[in-house]
Amino acid sequence: MSSEKSHIELNNEVTKKDEDGFFDLGKDIQARDMFLEEVERKSKKFNSEIERLNWLVENDFYYNLYEDYSKLDIEQLLKKTVLSDKFKGFEFKSYMAATKFYSSYALKTNDNQTYLENYKQHVFIVALYLANGNNENVIEQYEAMYSQVYQPATPTFMNAGRARRGELVSCFLTSTDDSLNGINFMDSTVKQLSKLGGGIATDVSNVRSRGSSIKDIEGVAKGAFPVAKQVQDAVGYADQLGQRPGAAAVYINIFHMDSLEILDSKKINADEDLRLSTVSIGLIIPDLFFELAEKNEDIAIFDPLGVKNVTGIEMTDINIADYYEGLVNDSSVRKRYINAREYLENIAKTQKESGYPYIMFVDNANKQHPLSNIGKVRMSNLCTEIFQLQETSTINDYGNDDDIKRDISCNLGSINIVNAVENGAKFSNFVEMAIRSLTQVSDMTSIENAPSVKKANTELHSVGLGALNLHGFLAKNSISYESTEARDFANVFFAALRFDSLLASSRISRERGETFKGFDKTSYADGSYFDDYIKNTPEVKTAKVSKVLEDNCFNVPTREQWIALKELVRQNGLYNAYLNAIAPTQSISYVQNATSAISPIVDLIERRTYGNSETFYPMPFLSPQTMWYYKSAFSVDQYRLIDLVSVVQRHVDQGISTILYVDSEISTSQLASYYIYAHAQGLKSLYYTRNKLLSIEECTSCSV
């Protein structure tokens, strides 16, 4: 047997100390190089790039790119991208970056034994596909992805350009009314979306509670829990060809009588028949709940059927504060009572045990909603960063037309903050390219068997451009995650991202002569959306952040630019109803050699288990100097984490996937205080709560 170490063994030595007493990071690079030598040996060889492309098209690996481009086009584009000296010398920055790309994204032969593309070639086919025949756009997209300034979401980056592919978008939100027709429609839609690899969130708030009446017969309704169980069964049945189980989340309004039953489904000691073992759960919480908890009062939770009978409004659409006293005093409405603080501690206890539920602050989401005159934000998604208007379809009996309304799809991408700032002079161009790329994905997506999702995508063109590598940027520039400087940078960076996203969408609208449906009813159209930016224009306030941005020629939009943008949007409109969302980016962050989204890191060197082996991932830019700025998320003051997210939320029209990191010994009252503070600071959601004893799967359906 050879005594030479494997690349995995070399990587595993990274935690050993070198002669200076620091981690032996050189072992990670040696492991990377050895792995890439193995990749080279296992890669199919071609005489030229054209020969390779032709073979992949002819053998049904790549789509027929010659339907969009001539042979001359392809030859010229190759010279300007893959074969150009400008894009020479791409280098994975870590062993994890290389292994993650080749294991999860690179195209292989049908037996998975031979690699058919490297990183540059993969980026080229993705750019070709998304540019849809536009030669100039191919080059722009190639540059942004090659330089790792822009990163499409995993579904797009994995599937674009493949002949046998999944969907480019794979995260969806659905809902149901209280009818059997509606529940069956929801069930069918969930299965169709799960079959395509989708992660689905479903709102069951409208379903009448357990023990409610059906046709005036009391006590016969089964309630919301069996519908939630049906969602679990649907994604279990329609999985991804056995390769990966379906993924789903079930949301319910906390004022629904069955919300406690849904919450209890995640308790460790729950009866197996009453457990939701494979789906996530989320609670939709209005302001009123926190007001009652502050007063230490009991809250009434209601049967949605009674709520609708009395108010004429579905539970998903009602502003509970407007009707609460009347519903409490109306004897015709079934209800039960529980102390609000007791309920809050029950939530915290369940989160300590399981990480769930997700928490969605529904009133915060709607207070900050530029499209509030068109529709209401009701729920969030599997990763809690999507906040878009949603409506419930009415499904009639056979022979009668259905009233199909709008559900939601998540079309995501991220800007790498480090590489974006260091290309500061071109930042606006990169953001515009990203919005155009996401818009192209939206235009290419049409899921016929999910008509409510298709309708929303066709009318609203919603996208979600976010960011990753915030902690990496802060550490590289000697800025503490909890510091004033960190919040100062986050404020101006995300203001710039928001500005350029809006500018890009307005330009697309002008070019196409089209706005998203209902634009004229929004606060964009009347200009009021921009008033706060004009009155309180984000500006750099700290010397350290000012120097970093100045050194990289990164410009923050001025008050005059916001005034000009306000007028431009009023004149031209916006093509995309929603533009920004910050998803968890764990999976693709590895390829980018970046920290995840805007979250703090967990460890200086992260350990990931794959099968029977372990891989170690040193944080980007890790050195004896930067390690002091890489404070673990479990040591970060969670109030300061919430403060930073709150700063960013101002500039994000949708939401931010926010994880709380706590010690397993934390009290339920302390954990509950984080919920209260997050709500008070204007967050729209909290993802799961992670303690060191919990291992929760990453959200691969939304991973960017």
> Annotated catalytic sites, by residue?
381, 383, 385
Strand ranges in 579-697 using DSSP code E only, listed in sequence order: 605-610, 613-618, 660-662, 685-686, 689-691
> Under a CB-based contact definition with an 8 Å cutoff, are residues 68 and 133 in contact?
yes
Angle at 279 between CA 193 and CA 235, to 5 degrees: 30
Tokens of 368: 């900050």
Helix axes 340-354, 287-294, angle to 10 degrees: 110
Q: φ, ψ for residue 610 (rounded to 5)?
A: -125, 110
> Under a CB-based contact definition with an 8 Å cutoff, are residues 380 and 655 in contact?
yes
Residues 357 and 42: their CA atoms lie apart, in Å, by 45
Output the CA–CA distances (angstroms, integers) from residue 675 to 203, 255, 337, 666, in the order listed.
21, 17, 21, 14
Output the CA–CA distances (angstroms, integers) from residue 457 to 71, 337, 381, in the order listed.
33, 40, 16
Tell which residue, 625, 628, 624, 580, has the closest CA to residue 601: 628
Count Cβ neighbours within 10 Å for each residue of 367-395 and write b for 16 or more, e otherwise. Answer: ebbbbbebbbbbbbbbbbbbbbbbbbbbb
Residues 579 and 439: their CA atoms lie apart, in Å, by 10
Strand order in the sheet with 412-416: 150-152, 412-416, 464-468
HEC per residue, 218-274 = CCCCCCHHHHHHHHHHHHHHCCECCCECCEEEEEEECCECCHHHHHHCCCCCCCHHH
* Helix, strand, or coil (residue 667): coil
Residues 55 and 704: their CA atoms lie apart, in Å, by 30
